[in-house]
Amino acid sequence: MGLRTPLYDTQLSQGAKIIDFGGWDMPLSFGSQIDEHHAVRRDAGIFDVSHMCIADLKGARTREFLRFLLANDVAKLTVPGRALYSCMLLPSGGVIDDLIVYFMTESWFRLVVNAGTRRKDLAWIGEHAAPFGVEVLERTDLAMLAVQGPNAIAKTLPLMAPARRGAAQGLARFSGAEFESWFVARTGYTGEDGFEIMLPAAQAAAIWQALVAHGVTPAGLGARDTLRLEAGMNLYGNDMDESRHPLESGLAWTVAFEPATREFIGRSALTRARGTVHPALVGLLLEERGVLRKSQQVSAATDAGAVAPHASIPLGEVTSGTFSPTLNRAIALARLAPGAGPRVLVDIRGRPHAARVVKPPFVRNGKILVPI
């Protein structure tokens, strides 16, 4: 038996197919993961993401500490409730984890990090927080739900107590507000609008049931993965890890090199990497039938799409691949040598399959963004 979230029994009673995910017993789906995917793109779905690690950082020097710890710059967070996506790096530039940081008050920032990296993240953060006098409090008392989809907000607001509703309905994208022990943020991992709600664990089942009764579709980790990949969002352990720096993982936009005076862990390694030629993360769209999968090998194709087998030039490999329910074909993120494309070949079970190099995201807000 693995770790269980406060919603485990509720989800089991709703037909969840449970799998192990980083030591947690989590729902893969409640029936058809493709139906769940479409529900989120077209209407509203709800995910239990209570396995993720919420850590509150408190102390007068918290902002100063985070400006040192993270590759993105929390100086950008000027309005309470605002969120920022960032990598946390090793001195080598390798990615320890990706995370969201919320600015609560000047002496309180909240981090949400991945479940599978919880232990090493907390150890790393704790070690570096001590000299700044910053306290790290893991919030295992909280559950976390993600309600996502074009109708997610409209279906969630009426179920909130009036005071919370008032705080939640005016939220700008990528901001949150805390009211009566609920922190509601307009963030997510699907490429759709919606809320992520952090709330006392004991209250999670009731709101889950109410949302489902209100027509929000329960969705599992299977749909979460196809949604995030269509949205061009990286998965830690697949598309980034400690052996790669953010510039090789499509995350250059999350590194704040300016101001040049800010010292952060990994800065000097990234500054060196910036001047070199390195692989890049790109999107792939399979032009034939089949499914793209992690670790499939990618090689160069001629303009005609065909290449003599012996002339195949390796370019890199797929880091995340799946069948995209929205595009009805296979998509992937792949780390390829610079200048790859516009067409490449992917080795699927020993046979080359033609694929097109595209710029992610594939889908955002229900719209297909790549030419198909």
Partner 1 sequence: MSNIPGDLHYTRSHEWVRRLPSGQVEVGITDHAQEALGDLVFVEVPQVKRRVTAGEACAVVESVKAASDVYSPVTGQVAASNDELARRPELLNSDPYRAGWLMRVEPDASSAAAALLTAVEYGQFLEQAG
Classified as helix, coil or strand, 78 is coil
Give residues 213-252 in contact with partner 1 (rule: CB under 8 A). Answer: 222, 226
* Selected binder of partner 1 within 159, 171, 210, 291 (CB under 8 A): 291
- Beta-strand relationship, 24-29 and 17-21: antiparallel
Distance CA 240, CA 251 (A): 9
Task: Using the rule CB under 8 A, give the single segment among 3-11, 24-32, 155-163, 308-316 that binds partner 1.
Answer: 24-32
Mask 179-218, x = binds partner 1 (CB under 8 A)? ----------------------------------------
User: What is the nearest approach in angstroms of partner 1 to the Cβ of residue 349?
Assistant: 7
Distance of CA 342 to the CA centre of its chain: 26
Are 125 and 111 in contact, with CB atoms under 8 Å apart?
yes
290: contact with partner 1 by CB under 8 A: yes
Are 241 and 249 in contact, with CB atoms under 8 Å apart?
no
How many other C-beta atoms lie within 10 A of the C-beta of residue 80? 15
Instruction: Give phi and psi for 247, each to the nearest 5.
Output: -70, -25
Distance CA 166, CA 345 (A): 52
293: contact with partner 1 by CB under 8 A: yes
Tokens 């989800």 correspond to what residue?
11
- How many amino acids of this chain bind partner 1 (CB under 8 A)? 16
- Between residues 301 and 330, which has the closer beta carbon with respect to partner 1? 330
User: What is the nearest approach in angstroms of partner 1 to the Cβ of residue 291?
Assistant: 5
12: contact with partner 1 by CB under 8 A: no
Are 177 and 186 in contact, with CB atoms under 8 Å apart?
no
Give residues 308-337 in contact with partner 1 (rule: CB under 8 A). Answer: 322-323, 325
Task: Using the rule CB under 8 A, give the single segment among 8-16, 29-37, 248-256, 266-274 that binds partner 1.
Answer: 29-37
Task: Using the rule CB under 8 A, give the single segment among 145-153, 203-211, 266-274, 289-297 that binds partner 1.
Answer: 289-297
Are 333 and 318 in contact, with CB atoms under 8 Å apart?
yes
294: contact with partner 1 by CB under 8 A: no
32: contact with partner 1 by CB under 8 A: yes
**CA angle (143, 255, 322) in 5-degree steps:** 60
149: contact with partner 1 by CB under 8 A: no
289: contact with partner 1 by CB under 8 A: yes
33: contact with partner 1 by CB under 8 A: yes
Q: How far is CA 5 from CA 52, 163, 235, 300, in A?
A: 10, 27, 21, 45
24: contact with partner 1 by CB under 8 A: no
88, β-bridge pairs: 70, 97
Q: Which residues bind partner 1 (CB under 8 A)?
A: 17, 28-29, 32-34, 222, 226, 289-291, 293, 322-323, 325, 349
